[in-house]
Amino acid sequence: MELIDNFLVKELQINIEASVKSLELQKKIHTIDSIWKRIDRERRQKWNQDIQVKLKKFQRKRDQIIKELKSKYAANKWVDNPFTTCPDCYQETLIANGEYEGICSNSKCSSVNPLTECSRCGGIMPGFSWEFGFCESCSEWMRDQ
């Protein structure tokens, strides 16, 4: 922005900051930004409320639910692993799909994490669905480029 600003001031004798249009634009950008932040906050709160209800339900029937998930996975010929790596306890115990998605089934951990798909490879990873992000292996891959 500074570069463009300098260029315009020099070459065209126009200062973006001083122009009415850009002030309006700045206001608009600011408004969009604050609306976006509010929506983000509300969605996170909603998610937290929902997951706490599910967590309570899960904790009452933990063993049964884990058993069901595992037998379903076996019946499905080990396709669609219902567990993914938990970012808190590093065990493959975070439920990746179904009703209890986002709950770590490790009784010593019991953390909750929203799950989404990596924007590059589509792999499951912690994060909110409306956020743009990459899984660890994709992030690593990009760092190496």
The contact set with Zn ion (CB under 5 A) reads 86, 88-89, 104, 106, 109, 111, 118, 120-121, 123, 135, 138
CB of 59 to Zn ion, least distance (A): 14
Cβ(70)–Cβ(95) under 8 Å? no
Beta bridge partners of 103: 112
- Residue 132 CB, shortest distance to Zn ion, in Å, is 12
Cβ proximity to Zn ion: between 36 and 141 the closer is 141
Rounded-to-integer distance, Cα 145 and Cα 142, Å: 5
Nearer to Zn ion, 43 or 120 (CB): 120
Tracing tokens 């909110």 back to the chain, one arrives at 128
Smallest separation, CB 139 to Zn ion (Å): 8
CA-based nearest residue to 96, from 79, 114, 111, 82: 82
